[in-house]
Chains A and B, each alone.
Chain A
Amino acid sequence: DTAVSQTPKYLVTQMGNDKSIKCEQNLGHDTMYWYKQDSKKFLKIMFSYNNKELIINETVPNRFSPKSPDKAHLNLHINSLELGDSAVYFCASSLGTGRAINEKLFFGSGTQLSVL
C-alpha cells in the first residue's frame, strides 16, 4: 500500500543506453513530478504533469522525456544515457492542480541511476 512507488530502485547501465523509470501513485492525486537529486544531494525539479498535461518543463536535455498515460502514472524515459545523468531520481505527487500554495508533495523512495 505504498503511496508513491517507483521502479526500479536501482538502475546500473552503460553509456549510450536508453532506460525508463516508472512511477505510480495510489493517492488519487492530480499532479505528479520528477525531481533529480545529484551527488551533493541538491534537488531540482525536472517535470510536472497535471492530469496528463505537462505543466512544468525545466531546462532538461531533450534526451529526457516524461510520459503520463493516466494521472496515476508518470514515467521517465532517458535516451542515450551519459555519465552526468547518474543521480537519484524522485517521483512525487500532490493533490490538486499544483497551483495551490499550500500543497505538499508526497515523494517516492527514489531510483538510483548509475551510468558506467
Chain B
Amino acid sequence: AQSVAQPEDQVNVAEGNPLTVKCTYSVSGNPYLFWYVQYPNRGLQFLLKYITGDNLVKGSYGFEAEFNKSQTSFHLKKPSALVSDSALYFCAVKSGGYNKLIFGAGTRLAVHP
C-alpha cells in the first residue's frame, strides 16, 4: 500500500532561519511526490512536485524539496523562513493509474518574528 508519513505535527522556526518539514513515503514502484500548503480557511495550494530527474526540486514562494531515494524521503525546505509561511503543509504521493493523491497527516509550520 502507498503511504506518506509526516513525523512532526508542528515545526517552530524563527523568522529568517532555515526551515525543514519532513516527509517519508512508502510506494511500490516509482514515487511521484508533491507538497501542498493550506493557509487558514483556504483550500490547498500546490507548491512543488517530484516526478523524475534532479533530486532537488524548486517550487513556489522560495520553497524547495529534496528527493532522497535511499531514505525514501522528500523533505520540504526553505533557506530563510517568513512569518507569512506559517500554514499547514501536506506531503502527498501518487497512487494508482488515476490522479489519486495519498496525503500525509500534515505539519503545522509556525514562524515566529
Contacts and interface: CB of A to CB of B under 8 A. Distances in A.
Interface of A: 4, 31, 33, 40-45, 48, 55-56, 90, 92, 94, 98-110
Interface string B34-65: 10100001111110010100000000000000
Given A41-B105, A42-B105, A42-B106, A103 B42 contact: no
Contacts of B36: 105, 107
Contacts of A40: 105
B94 interface: yes
Contact of B44 (A31, A44, A90, A98): A90
Contacts of B99: 31, 33, 48, 94, 98-100, 103, 105
Given A41-B88, A42-B106, A44-B103, A99 B98 contact: yes
B97 interface: yes
B98 A107 contact: no
B43 A4 contact: yes
Interface of B: 32, 34, 36, 41-46, 49, 51, 88, 90, 94, 97-101, 103, 105-106
Nearest to B107: A41
A102 B49 contact: yes
Query: 8 tightest A-B contacts by CB?
Result: A107-B43, A98-B99, A43-B103, A104-B46, A107-B44, A101-B32, A41-B106, A98-B98
Contacts of A56: 98, 100
Contacts of A105: 36, 44, 46, 99, 101
B101 A107 contact: no
Contacts of A102: 32, 49, 51
Contact of A109 (B42, B88, B97, B105): B42
Nearest to A41: B106
